[in-house]
Structure 1
């Protein structure tokens, strides 16, 4: 299935901000993986509501193009870019230095950088496994630790948001490194919500179901053959929209959710609940067969 087909089948969400325009005026956001996909959408949403953003990834050309595009579409927005591999603590420190110098200490940290691909686990080398763990889990730890230590010293609070996945709750075959790493990210955020609440920090996560982005789907559904199956098992029968997740992310890092911390919000159109429900597959039973089944059940009850 092509990306245009996916988007046609998907509900076009209202692109409007659900929060007031100046919600993040004077705030600084640090967004990893901010050049594409979900990270870009969140950056655009926060910028729309007044935040100054520092977007980070390994590809400076992609970051610069994203910054240019957003600044054109949102006059007055301020976005700086910093090329960094989040696996490298020294590179992270340099990126945060640039953010602090040009914008100030972050009030919002979006841990979105990720790496993932499908593979039978027995085909994976230790290096393949480690590459995903290092980007997703260690990258999140590197960013969180560097920024948090600076914030603690400055006595400044902040909101941290991790972007994980619904299969981080119970695991999934064929994406085992990602499942391990993303569950670690959730546990990190939940643990620090308890320990570091005293510093004025909040930690929450969004666990999305399938939201179409070119990069993610090129690695997770390269043939396009699984997309229809994916939508059929989602009760809402559509994929999520970037506009929707960016609105949710904005709420979670805003003062409107100031009593929420340590939470993981499933954002999946009901996909997880549909998959784990013991009898949910009965949705495939045609209506005429239900008449037969009902009669059989009545006969058993009457015997």
Structure 2
């Protein structure tokens, strides 16, 4: 039986990225975590089970930094098999005076980072592999005050479909995930600051609860391994039924 292939996860220091890295490590995959917060990433990586893991601190939209992470993964005995695009940030604000600098930063980390990651990973997948890109319900629906984030995440969904159609003949499957409301450090901060209202969100979710990072990680594992060997070009909502419900609940 061949050894599990290596996995690169961007934004792996906390939240959904940390959960995804943990899930692959639990199944024996060597994990290369990449995050701008190198110290936090190093602390998180100490909890990953198994061996052969690496951490890379730096910008997930830098071809040099991402290339270094992919090189570490490709140097493992079974090579690079999966690349997970997860790094991101969110800055809400009125669109009428949303600054050009904030707009550029939003597109860079989410959309440019996804393209750079895809290019660097694909170049090191001569036998094929899987790319999993984190989109969002914000890329599927309109949310006041989050137009920039939604535009970036909609771009990721478009990139998933375009790359999937183009790269499937090479044996590289590209799929996406569109999380709804998930309990992370970032969402907790938004709740604390009043950027989002918990009751409003729960009213919109048929399952009447927020998701957990581990639940998103299970989907990422499915899409990033041979379990989903005939799936390409989809963006899967994981949202407690939000996208399926046409009107708010009671």
TM-score after normalising by structure 2: 0.92
Of residues 97, 107, 114 in structure 2, which corresponds to 1:140? 114
Q: Which structure's CA Rg is the greater one?
A: 1
Structure with the higher fraction of residues in helix conformation: 1
8 A Cα contact 1:83 1:95, kept in partner? no
Partner of residue 272, structure 1: 243
Of residues 136, 161, 182 in structure 2, which corresponds to 1:190? 161
CA deviation map 1:18-60 (0-9, x unaligned): xxxx9x9421000000111001001111111111000001111
Q: Secondary structure at the match of 2:243?
A: helix
Instruction: State the number of aligned residues.
Output: 250
Compared with structure 1, are the counterparts of its residues 26 and 230 closer, same or farther at alpha carbon in structure 2 (3 Å cutoff)?
same
Q: Secondary structure at the match of 1:81?
A: strand
Alignment of 1:10-29 (within 5 A): 25-29=3-7
CA deviation map 1:185-219 (0-9, x unaligned): 11111111111111100011110100010134324
Alignment of 1:175-214 (within 5 A): 175-214=146-185
**CA distance, structure 2, for counterparts of residue 35 and residue 122 of structure 1:** 33
Task: Note the C-alpha offset of 1:169.
Answer: 1.7
Partner of residue 33, structure 2: 55
CA deviation map 1:210-257 (0-9, x unaligned): 001013432476237601221122111101112211111111112121
Query: Where in structure 1 are there 5+ consecutive unaligned residues?
Result: 1-21, 285-303
**CA distance, structure 1, for counterparts of residue 196 and residue 62 of structure 2:** 36
Of residues 90, 100, 105 in structure 2, which corresponds to 1:116? 90
Q: Which one is further off, 40-49 or 117-126?
A: 117-126
Task: Note the C-alpha offset of 1:82.
Answer: 0.5
Query: Where in structure 2 are there 5+ consecutive unaligned residues?
Result: none
Of residues 44, 53, 61 in structure 2, which corresponds to 1:79? 53
**CA distance, structure 1, for counterparts of residue 145 and residue 100 of structure 2:** 15
Q: What is the RMSD of the two structures over their aligned residues, measured on CA atoms?
A: 2.0
Alignment of 1:1-303 (within 5 A): 25-70=3-48, 74=49, 76-101=50-75, 105-151=79-125, 155-219=126-190, 222-223=193-194, 226-274=197-245, 277=246, 280-281=247-248, 283-284=249-250
Q: Secondary structure at the match of 1:196?
A: helix
Compared with structure 1, are the counterparts of its residues 97 and 157 closer, same or farther at alpha carbon in structure 2 (3 Å cutoff)?
same
Q: Secondary structure at the match of 2:244?
A: helix
CA deviation map 1:70-117 (0-9, x unaligned): 2xxx3x343210012022222222333333346664200100011212
Q: Secondary structure at the match of 1:54?
A: strand
8 A Cα contact 1:29 1:106, kept in partner? yes
**CA distance, structure 2, for counterparts of residue 235 and residue 127 of structure 1:** 37
8 A Cα contact 1:28 1:51, kept in partner? yes
Q: Secondary structure at the match of 2:200?
A: helix
